[in-house]
Structure formats: structure tokens, C-alpha cells
Amino acid sequence: MSTTVDRPAAAPTPAEPPRPGPVSWLTTTNHKDIGFMYCVTAFAFFLIGGALADLLRTELAEPGRQVLSNEAYNTTFTIHGTVMIFLFVAPFGAGLGNYLIPLQIGAPDMAFPRLNALSYWCFAGGGLLVLLSGFAAAGGGTATGWTAYPPLSEGRLSPSIATDLWILGLALVAVATLLTGINILTTVFLMRAPGMTMWRVPIFTWNMIVTSILGLVAFPPAVAAFGLLLVDRRVGGHAFDPLGGGDPVIYQHLFWFLGHPEVYILILPFFGVITEIIPVFARKPLFGYLGFVLATLAIGALSVGVWAHHMFTTGVVDNPFFSAMTFTIAVPTGVKFFNWIGTMWGGKIRLATPMLFSIGFLLNFLIGGVTGVLLASAPIDFQVADSYFLVSHFHYTMMGGAVFGIFAAIYFWYPKMTGAMLRESLGRWVFYLLFFGFNLTFWPQFVVGLRGMPRRIVDYATGLGFDTPNLVSTIGAGVMTVAVLLSLADLWISRRRRIPAGDDPWGGSSLEWATTSPPPEHNFTTVPRIRSARPAFDLHHPELEP
Amino acid sequence: MRLFWVLAAFFVGLGVVYWAITYEWTGTVLLVAAGAMPLIVAGWATHAGSTRTSLPDDDPEGAPADAAGQELGEFPEATGWPVFIVLGIVLTGAAIVYGSILLPAGVALLGWALVGFVRESKH
Amino acid sequence: MRRLLARPSLGIVATIAAVALSACSSSFGMPRGASEQGRDIFDLWQVFMITGIVVGAIVYGLIGWSLLRYRRKGSDDDEALGRQFHGHVPLEVIYTAIPVVIVIALFSMSFRTEERVGNLASDPVVTLDAEAFAWGWRFTYEGHDVTVVSDPSGESVTGPEIALPRGEIVRVVLTSDDVIHAFWVPDFLFKRDAIPGHVNRFDITPTDTGTYQGVCAEFCGLNHAYMTFRVTVMEPDAFDRWLAERRGEEVAT
């Protein structure tokens, strides 16, 4: 059953009837529902991954083993990493993209709605398999690290079926990513509203374009790597087994060919999010639209060429090539930073919660980015790779960056999705606690990493200078946990006692703010005239006709 | 679209540079293959674009009235097939790993759901 | 003196100079390096850190300034807008070009350091075979018939203890028996992976006597955290005696 949709002209159509109950979630193909489902499911995985992190930090608070066995610890960090990367941050970005892209370009839905639904369910099913691989597999949970390097991940040394389940789960998630990527690209290229040229498309949507291209380019080699690993494990292959003529280094090439673009897949949507938020709260146009587009394209393209900077210490790759390529990515990222500052400059900045989280993003991501430049140097990497310095670097970019971007997105778009506001007062508390807790957790990890603490260890010896920083780090994790619980309380309260949001509570620029909150089923009863990259702003400020 | 030609050229070019510097097989194959994806899209887009007139989307002066009445396509209301497809995959995967009793059930479910999904799109 | 204190800009400059001078000698948390290669990497680290701190300070300063200066004031009404400009091409070109220059400079320095650190001398004085296995080490001094190996019971707190001669070139030949491990001595600022099917070679020229911790730095399974070892750097004649005392033995520590 389907409806043929014509482009809305001038006359509004009557309001859509309300949707029936919970079964509709299982069968919906509407991009807003699916986007929302992605975000909710991803956030649930965040809570699981966060609980696992709290377990890890509890064990590491003091030297000596207290809480977890070796096996349990190793499984815990494996699932923590897998869940946070593949089941939380990436799908949350995909969910936001699903929800916002058709609205931002003036389309009634995504290009392939049923494929969209299939994407979501592949993600949910894959996520379930990954969780099973950690918790419910006979023979012990998978404990290879999220990177699953052979020979450790081969059948002889990781005999449990858990690792096979993990591989299958991730393969399903990869399918979801590929389908979504195709959907996003087709939608943006072929379904924009009249007047919405590519150079007026919001930067968030541009970032999703590059994210999708990266996903399509980068996932297949990793799926190949996992497939070969599965063959090695179950069917007698030796692709990565030196005793059979194979080479574990090939796995690393295939894996990191995805692995590095993956981290850009994780961060680009959230670069996009704060690029949407900052101009709105500075009450100014975006500074350097073209620069943003070119920088995003550059980051995406270059990120495909840097993968072996994860392999500097192997001794078998050409370090200077990858080092040089990695250094180049600093340039477009720096351009973005200056453009964000330029957007704030000369503005009338309102520090509402979405803006607070965006500022937090900038402050944290800068540290992540600068330490990334440090890591781009191979000799410096000889000291800091595989240490807590590295762990802290990627948490500064992924958590200090992407997760702060996620909270910014939640506080910014929740009113649009639900028609209700979140509590500003609670939101400020969430921000300050999260910012303080985050830095308290991860700054000490730079310290111990430099002092010589390697990663993925269940325990450490006392007297090496690791004790106090680890304790401080664990306290920080506790503070972050409180912040996250507070955000849950905010979400709960805002549902119970609704404060109506209206169409445009923030004074937004992009098209989604020119329709109701929540939008009608096919998004727009009337599409406004589009003459710039800020159609909603133009609608509300006709005196500033572009 | 020009973007995809540029991307394809960039990846293949990078692959050539990589080979020249390192003579390393895996990375070279990966980079050149990465160029294949944008190449496919670019080739199709160029071919399709040659027969299509420009869209109101790309007209900077485009007004909503320009596209009024233009049929955007069919938007399926709701479908249960995706859930069943994934249940089939999960069951099949679990069967491969846990024990093959479930395997025929998983494959059957998957097959039925795939057929249903495809047939649904045919009307 | 009062004239000096009365001019705040001079005071600010003096403070910045003092901070900068102390920064130049700071280690920024990194060990200073007990080997030639380590000291080389440490020098590079200092340059990178100072650059990073300067860049970070500028960016943080700009963000802080815009938040202070361009904050909406209570006197502004709800509809107040900021200055409506879209960009500034010359400025954008400048802040694209300057990072390019910085990055090229950093890469060149890094490249040269790596060449030196990775250089394999033609005449190492000692060759140490380091064989990693799950979960311990077997060190063999080639030509001296001395082997030091991890205590198989796994009870040892420190792991195997090896010695190196100060001021002389030691060649390490690193292999693995089973999965990927990594040889890391933080005080030498150096680690390298031990990959089955590959042989990795590197030189260490220790410069400071002392005892240094060594760890495995690539996750290798259950007891990865316990694959430690200890390196003691001693004067060359003490080292010769150390070797002589253990000749023909396989010592499990």
C-alpha cells in the first residue's frame, strides 16, 4: 500500500490522522520514525557501552585486581569499543541524517523508504548479535579487542563461537551502513526542493553526503577482512596465519582501510551538527560556507589515504607516506575551526544548552585534534601508540567531540522531533557535569600514557606513577555517569510535563524550522521560497532579503 | 556528477603515488579499488544526465510552483518485510554458529521475507 | 620599578616570556629518554608540544574572546542579530596557508628524526634476540650463549631482567612465537611490534645507567598485562661481567 505524492504547491492539505500504536514502529517506512528509532536505539547502546566503561574504570581505579577476572575484563573492553563505535555514534549520526536530510532539502521522505526500514532493522539485528557475542556465548565472550587482530582472533586462540557471532553482527551493521549511504546520496542528489541548489544545502547535509561516500568506499574492505577471518576460523583458511603462508599484517591493512575513514564517519555528522547550531545561537550567517564544503570534502578524501598510521609500530609499512598524509588532514580541520570562530565573531551569542555543548565540542575536539597531530609523527608514535595517551586522544575526539555533538543535537532538535522543549536548567547541569567529568576522566590518561601505561591491561603495578591518575580518572567517570543519568531525567520530565516548542523555538536557519514541530507526515504542507542557504531565516526576516 | 569524477581520479591517483613510493600490494589495491566506487556513480550519472533536462532543484530561482504537481514517486506506507528479513538473517547466523537445527528455519524465513519484500515493490 | 609595574602590557610580556622559557625546558610529561634514539624523539616531542600549545592557546583565546565580547547582553532584545557577514576570503586563504607551512615544517622534522631513529648501524656491539610469546619473553645474547627467559609459572613481578651496555649500540632482533606482541621500554621512548612471520630489527644506544620498566604493548590475550620485563643499563665493563656470570645459562626470572 503506498501513496503517490505530488510536490506541495500553495494550498495546504488537511492535518494527517494520528498514527496507530506500537506495531507501527515495526512496519513504518517514514524517515522521521526511522531516524527517531535509530537515535533511541543508539542511545540505549550508549548506556550499555557506558556501563561497561564504568566497569573498566572501577577495575582500574586501584592497582590489583578487584572486580573483574582477566577474561571478563578483556571481553568488557572489546564490547565497550565495538558498541560505542558501531552501535552508538555511527548509527546516531545515521539516525539524525535520516530524520533531518529530507526536511533540510525540502523532500517528503528519503528516496528508498523501505530500504531505509531494512537498514534500521539490520542495525538492530546486528547490534543484538554483537551483544550476544559479549554476554551470551558459550565458551566465553569475544575478547579480541574491537580491532580483532589475528592471530589472536584466529580459531586456535579464540575458539569460542562468540567471535564468529561478533563478525556476523558487524557484517549486518555494515549492510545497514551501505544501504543508508546509498539512500542518503540518492535523496540529496535527486530530491531537493526547487531553488535548493547544492550550494544552498545545509552543511549538516553536506557532511552526511561525505559520510555516506566514505561508508560506501571504506566498509567493503573491512567486510572482506572479517569474511577472511571467518574463513580462517571455521573453514580452514590461512589468510592471516603465518604458519599457513598467510600474513596478519594484511588484516591490519584491510581493517584500518575502514578503520580510519570510520572515525571520520563518526565525527563528520557532528561537525555538521555544530555547524548548524553555532550560526543560530550567534544570530549570524555561517562564516565561509564554501570553505566548510571544501574542507569537508578534503577531510573525507584524505582520510582514505592515512590508514596505516595505525600501523607505525609494525615496522612493515612506509611510515613517511602515511605520516605526511595524516599531517595534511590537520589543515582542513583547522580551517573549520577558524570558520566556526568566524561564525561566532561579531555575533550576539546566546548560551542556550545546544550552544554550550557546541562550545564544549570545540574546546574538547581541539585537544583531540592537536594530539592527533602529535600522533601523526611516526617517531612520537613509537612512544605513545598503544598507550593510554592514544586512548585519551581518541576519547577526546570521539567522546569530547562526537558525544558532545550528540548531546548538542538532542537539545537542539528534540523540540522539532517531539514538539516539546527540554529543560534549560537541567540541560546546563548536564553540560557542566559532563564537561567537567569528561576532562577529569581523560586528562590523567594522557599523563599515564606518557609515563608508560599500555592500553588494554586489566591491572598495573604500583609505584610506576599510574596510581593517582587512574583513581582521578575513575572519579571523573563517576561524574560523567551522573551527567548522563541527569540527561535521562531531563528526557523523562520533558515528556511528562510538556512545554510546547512551536515551529521554530531557536530562530533556526534551515528548512526544518519552516514546518511544524513535529512535522506532518510528508514534511511540508507548503515549501517556502528558497533563495539562500538560510530559507527559514529568510522567511522570518523578509527585511533582510538576500 | 563532477564530484564523483574528482573522487575517482583522486583515489586512483593516490594509489599510483602509493605504489611508486612503497611497492606495497595491499594498500595499492585498496586505493585503486576505492576509486572504483565513485567511478561507477560518475559513469552512471554522466550517462543518465545526458538525457535529462535540468531539475527545478538546481535552478537558483526555482519556485515551489515550478514543481507543483510533479509526481515525486510512490511512498510506501508501511511494510513488515524488513523485520522478517532481519529475523531470518539473525536466525540463520545464529544457526551457523550455535547449531544447525535452526538453519533450515532461518534460511526459509529469510527466503520467504526476501520474496515478500521484492514482490511488494512490484505493484 | 614603579614605572615597570605601572605598565600592565610590559608585565604581561614579562610573564609570557617567563612561562615560555620554562616551557622550553619542560618535558610535558614525557620521559627525557635514556638512549640516543629516545633523546632524539624527546627533542622532537618538545617542538611539537610547544607548537601545539601555541596553536591551542591562540584558538582557545579566540573562542574565549568571542564568548566574552560577542555575548548577547541583557539590553539586547530577543530579535537582536549579529553582524550579517558571510566570510572573508583573504582571511580564509591566510588561515589555510599558515597551517600548511606549519604542517610541512613539522613533517620534515619528524621525517629526519625517524631516519635517525630507525637507522641500523653496520657494527652493533651486542645483538639481543627478543622472542615474544604468550605471555612472556625469551632474550638471547647472540654469540654469548646467555638466555634470560620469563618465569614459566607466571609468578614473577618484574619478569625477565636483561642488561645493556651504556654508550654502545645494541641491535634488537624482535620476533614472536604466536600472536602479535610489542616490545616497549617507555624510558627509551620506543616500541616495536613483534609480529609472527616477521622479523623486526632496531638499534638502541643507551645513554643513562639505571633500571627501566619494559612492557608488552600489543594486546595478546589473557595475561597481556603481566608480560613485563626489566632493562638495566650498566657501564660496559660491568656489562661484560654480567654476561660472563651467566654464560651458558638459561636464567628464568
Q: Give the H or E element holding residue B114.
A: helix B103-120
Give residue limits of the domains in chain B.
Answer: 2-51, 81-120
Contact A380 C60 (CB under 8 A): no
Residue B45 has pLDDT above 70, yes or no: yes
Cβ-contact A402, A359 below 8 angstroms: no
CA atoms within 13 A on the CB side of B113: 21
Residues from chain C contacting residue A347 (CB–CB below 8 Å): 66, 70, 82-83
Q: Which fold has domain A29-201?
A: Cytochrome C Oxidase; Chain A (1.20.210)
CATH architecture of C126-252: Sandwich (2.60)
Grid cell locating C63? 573562542
Q: Cα-flanking dihedrals φ and ψ of residue C2, to 5°?
A: -65, -35
Q: What is the pLDDT of residue A9?
A: 43
Residue C38 has pLDDT above 80, yes or no: yes
Q: What is the pLDDT of residue A6?
A: 52
Which of A26, A114, A307 is facing B76, going by the closest CB pair? A114
Residues from chain B contacting residue A172 (CB–CB below 8 Å): 86, 89-90, 93
Q: How confident is the model at residue C7 (pLDDT cuts 50, 70, 90)?
A: low
When scoring C44, C45, C66 by the number of chain A Cβ atoms within 10 A, the one with the most, hence best to mutate, is: C66
Q: What is the pLDDT of residue C16?
A: 67
Residue C204 has pLDDT above 90, yes or no: yes
Q: Which residues pair with C203 in a beta bridge?
A: C171
More confident residue, A234 or C171: C171
Instruction: Report the candidate in C251, A302, C19, A428 with the shortest Cα–Cα distance to residue B14.
Output: A302
Local structure of residue A88 (DSSP, 8 states): I
Instruction: Report the candidate in A100, A91, A114 with the shortest Cα–Cα distance to residue A45.
Output: A91
Contact A284 C84 (CB under 8 A): yes
Cβ-contact A384, A458 below 8 angstroms: no
When the pLDDT of each residue in chain C is averaged and rounded to a whole number, the result is 88
B104 touches A at CB < 8 Å: no
Contact C180 A149 (CB under 8 A): yes
State percent of chain A over pLDDT 70: 95
Q: Which residues contact C118 (CB under 8 A, 6 or more apart)?
A: C202
Instruction: Report the candidate in A246, A317, A315 with the shortest Cα–Cα distance to residue C174.
Output: A315
Q: What are B1-44's pLDDT values in tens digits?
A: 678 888 888 888 888 888 888 888 888 888 888 888 888 888 87
CA distance A109 to chain C (A): 31
Q: What is the pLDDT of residue C26?
A: 82
C39 touches A at CB < 8 Å: no
Q: What is the pLDDT of residue A10?
A: 37
Q: What is the pLDDT of residue A15?
A: 43
Contact A348 C60 (CB under 8 A): no
Give residue limits of the domains in chain C.
Answer: 2-72+85-118, 126-252
Residue C47 has pLDDT above 80, yes or no: yes
Four-way CATH pick for C2-72+85-118: 2.60.120, 1.10.530, 1.10.287, 3.40.50: 1.10.287
Q: How confident is the model at residue B53 (pLDDT cuts 50, 70, 90)?
A: low
pTM higher than the cut 0.90? yes
Q: What is the pLDDT of residue A282?
A: 92
Residues from chain B contacting residue A526 (CB–CB below 8 Å): 64
Q: What are A425-438's pLDDT values in tens digits?
A: 999 999 999 999 99
State percent of chain C over pLDDT 70: 88
From chain C residues 51-110, the ones with a CB under 8 A of any chain A CB are 52, 55-56, 59-60, 62-63, 66-67, 70-73, 76, 80-88, 91-92, 95-96, 99-100, 103-104, 106-107, 110
Cβ-contact A381, C190 below 8 angstroms: no
Give residue limits of the domains in chain A.
Answer: 29-201, 505-546
End-to-end CA distance of chain C: 65
Q: Which residues pair with C213 in a beta bridge?
A: C230
CA distance A31 to chain B (A): 11
Q: Do chains B and C touch (3 or more CB pairs under 8 A)?
A: no
State percent of chain A over pLDDT 90: 71
CA atoms within 13 A on the CB side of A76: 21
Cβ-contact A280, A103 below 8 angstroms: no
Pick from A261-270, A442-451, C65-74, C119-128: least confident: C65-74
Q: What is the pLDDT of residue B64?
A: 66
* Helices assigned H by DSSP within A31-112: 31-60, 70-82, 90-105
Q: What is the pLDDT of residue A526?
A: 81
More confident residue, A477 or B98: A477
Q: How confident is the model at residue B75 (pLDDT cuts 50, 70, 90)?
A: low
Average pLDDT rounded to a whole number, residues C136-148: 90
Q: What is the pLDDT of residue C248?
A: 74
From chain C residues 131-160, the ones with a CB under 8 A of any chain A CB are 134, 157
Residue C80 has pLDDT above 50, yes or no: yes
From chain A residues 58-97, the ones with a CB under 8 A of any chain C CB are 70-71, 74
CB atoms within 10 A of CB B115: 11
CA A150-A153-A155 angle, 5° bins: 110
Q: What is the pLDDT of residue B72?
A: 57
CA C104-C107-C113 angle, 5° bins: 145
* CA–CA distances in Å: residue B19 to residues A123, A314, A321, B12: 36, 19, 11, 11
Amino acid of residue A162: A
C179 touches A at CB < 8 Å: yes
Q: Give the H or E element holding residue A134.
A: helix A113-135
Distance CA A500, CA A515 (A): 15
* CA–CA distances in Å: residue C174 to residues A242, A284, A380, A439, C180: 16, 59, 20, 38, 11
Nearest chain C residue to A338, by CA: C95
Which residues in chain A come in under a pLDDT of 70?
1-21, 136-139, 545-546
* Helices and strands: H and E segment counts in chain B: 4, 1
When the pLDDT of each residue in chain A is averaged and rounded to a whole number, the result is 90
Contact A330 C99 (CB under 8 A): yes
Q: What is the pLDDT of residue A280?
A: 93
Helices B2-22 and A289-303 cross at an angle (nearest 10°) of: 40
Q: How confident is the model at residue B60 (pLDDT cuts 50, 70, 90)?
A: confident
Q: What is the pLDDT of residue A192?
A: 87
| Sheet hosting strand C126-133, strand order edge to edge | C200-204, C170-176, C126-133, C136-141, C146-149, C250-252
